[in-house]
Amino acid sequence: MKKIFILLTLILSMQFIKGQSFNGFALYNSQGSNTTYLIDENQNIAHTWNMTTECNYTVQLKENGNLIRGTKGNTSVFSNGNIAAGGGIVQEIAPDGTIVWEYIYANSDHVSHHDLTLVGDNVLLTAYEKKTSTELNAAGFNNASSEKWPTHFIELEPDGNGGANIIWEWHIWDHMCQDTDASKPNYVSNISDNPELININMIQGGGGPGGGNSGDWFHVNGVDYNEDLDQIVFSSRFASEIYIIDHSTTTSEAATHSGGNSGMGGDILYRWGNPSNYEVSGSQIIDNAVHDARWITDDGRPNGGYLQIFNNSGVSNSVSAIDGIETPWDAATNTYLRNPGQAFEPFSYTTRYECAFSSSGQSASDRMSNGNIYVNASGGQGGAGVMYEVDSLGTIVWGPYNAQSQKGFRYECDYPGIIALEPYMNTATTSCFNHTLVEDFLLEDLLVYPNPTNSDITIEFESTSGSEIIIGVYNTLGQEIFNKKISRFSGQFKEKINLDYYSEGVYIVNIVSNTGQLYTKRISYIK
């Protein structure tokens, strides 16, 4: 058993070493294209999803290997239809292009647009809702003459019958205030004393990329979910700000100022980038556009737990920045700390990378497990249209790759969705799936299935060696959950292993001979 553990440790350490450079995949959809691409570290296409409709903005890979995408529906039913990153439809797509489920969210009162993110197996959508000038004026907006489209979010749960159900909602309209008319709702005497609310008069304009006076009020263009905190972060181009809200609320609590883990209902927990929006002093860090607010995965990687944004004009009108923000989160009180009358800290970005390739719109970034930064400088609005990766010294270690992508994502080799997608990929040029440490295969036709699994796995192979064989299954900590020794074995082997009593995650199946020959496969267990 000591020998097996050493071999397992060798495998895991090799995987860690490989993670020091770009070793994984990038997922993207080019501007105006119907096709989603997954490329490997050598910039070769590993898989494509060829669909009949255009992706509106974002694609993501689920842990089961399926694709989640927003696509363009009939946005013309919503006012003028000239909507920035207009969508109206969200789909889950199997590796072979089959639509697993689809949901239409477009009518004369609301339409999905821009971004989406995963909440477990569910999907959180960004959407507009229409408010007339009458409604705006009644709520304290100063002299509204036309409709506006405030943001809201809906969470969709697949119903198992090709559709989905809305199980949670949050509306920015429920969390606005004003200090101009005490006779109207949402009146507060001092905006600066109420940073948890949005001043309805802080953005008088609209339009922008949506075109003219389209009503695109806040232009929320990015959203991310933090499972550990059960919180949502989103970015607003026109507010030059990012916001965090509580997802632990019910829908009814989300419309109020109490409830949830924070006790604040759906109010703003944290905001950053433009303190003048809530009338306190401080530098405006987001000068123009911002996109892709997301949390850096907090798993031991550098700056884990920070927020990270693509600050389109962070350095200058022509030079973008990737800004990291260490938020003042206090787990003991479930709040983001702030001194009264002051802006939320930090008063400036905590980390900054000045982009080698920039974009004035769209775009995305991520932080890899080794601390490298992945940059997607969108091709929209005259941007560079490339993806690349830099190390801690700012040296480009991968790319630039001309993708003309609106928003790209990086997935490392051990992501369950990548493992699940392996049978459908072109894996010839990626090192992610080099499982064998010996040139001479001990076994023939080794199968470990299903992968991913939600319960059992079956191990099946044929051996002609006649040597002793040890079969072991381990979690990524090296803990053994299954072991079987077979003396002088030749022939067909098949055995089922139940994983119901174990935690979700990646498991390693090792088959070792008494001569030290090793074959290994990884599986993803998702309950």
Mean pLDDT of 371-377: 95
pLDDT digits (tens, 9 = 90+) for 15-52: 333 334 567 999 999 888 999 999 999 999 999 999 99
- Predicted pLDDT at 78: 75
Cα 2 off chain centre by? 39
Answer yes or no: is pLDDT of 89 > 70.
yes
pLDDT digits (tens, 9 = 90+) for 244-271: 999 999 999 999 999 999 999 999 999 9
Can you give the residue ranges of every domain in the chain? Answer: 20-412, 443-525
- Predicted pLDDT at 462: 79
- Predicted pLDDT at 449: 87
Tell me how far apart the 2 most distant CA atoms of the chain are, in Å: 89
- Predicted pLDDT at 118: 98
Answer yes or no: is pLDDT of 272 > 50.
yes
Least trusted range by pLDDT, from 53-62, 99-108, 461-470, 480-489: 461-470
Q: How far apart are CA 114 and CA 353, in angstroms?
A: 25
Answer yes or no: is pLDDT of 2 > 90.
no
Asked if 13 contacts 412 with a C-beta cutoff of 8 angstroms, the reply is no
At residue 222, the 3 state secondary structure works out as strand
Answer yes or no: is pLDDT of 444 > 70.
no
DSSP lists the bridge partners of residue 110 as 129
- Predicted pLDDT at 477: 59
Mean pLDDT of the chain: 87
- Predicted pLDDT at 409: 94
What's the CATH number for 443-525? 2.60.40.1930
509 or 165, greater pLDDT: 165
Asked if 286 contacts 274 with a C-beta cutoff of 8 angstroms, the reply is yes
As a whole-number percent, the residues of the chain with pLDDT over 70 amount to: 88
Residue 412, C-beta contacts closer than 8 angstroms, at least 6 positions apart? 19, 23, 24, 368, 369, 418
Read off the pLDDT band of 469 (50, 70, 90): confident
Cα distances (angstroms) measured from residue 353 to each of 7, 73, 382: 39, 37, 21
Mean pLDDT of 69-82: 77
Quickly name the fold that domain 20-412 has: Neuraminidase (2.120.10)
CA-CA-CA-CA torsion sign (80, 404, 294, 90)? positive
Could you count the other beta carbons within 10 Å of the beta carbon of residue 175?
23
Asked if 290 contacts 276 with a C-beta cutoff of 8 angstroms, the reply is no
Could you count the other beta carbons within 10 Å of the beta carbon of residue 163?
12
In our burial notation (b when 16+ CB lie closer than 10 A, e otherwise), range 406-441 reads bbbbbbbbbbbbbbbbbeebebeebbbeeebeeeee
Residue 219, C-beta contacts closer than 8 angstroms, at least 6 positions apart? 84, 208, 209, 210, 236, 237, 238
415 or 123, greater pLDDT: 123
As a whole-number percent, the residues of the chain with pLDDT over 90 amount to: 64
Q: How far apart are CA 441 and CA 458, in angstroms?
A: 20
Q: How far apart are CA 3 and CA 139, in angstroms?
A: 71
Q: What is the pTM of this model?
A: 0.80
Read off the pLDDT band of 514 (50, 70, 90): low
pLDDT digits (tens, 9 = 90+) for 145-200: 888 999 999 999 999 999 999 999 999 999 999 999 999 989 999 999 999 999 99
Answer yes or no: is pLDDT of 392 > 80.
yes
Asked if 375 contacts 358 with a C-beta cutoff of 8 angstroms, the reply is no
386 or 22, greater pLDDT: 386
Residue 294, C-beta contacts closer than 8 angstroms, at least 6 positions apart? 222, 224, 233, 307, 308, 309, 365, 366
DSSP lists the bridge partners of residue 521 as 509
DSSP state of 297: P
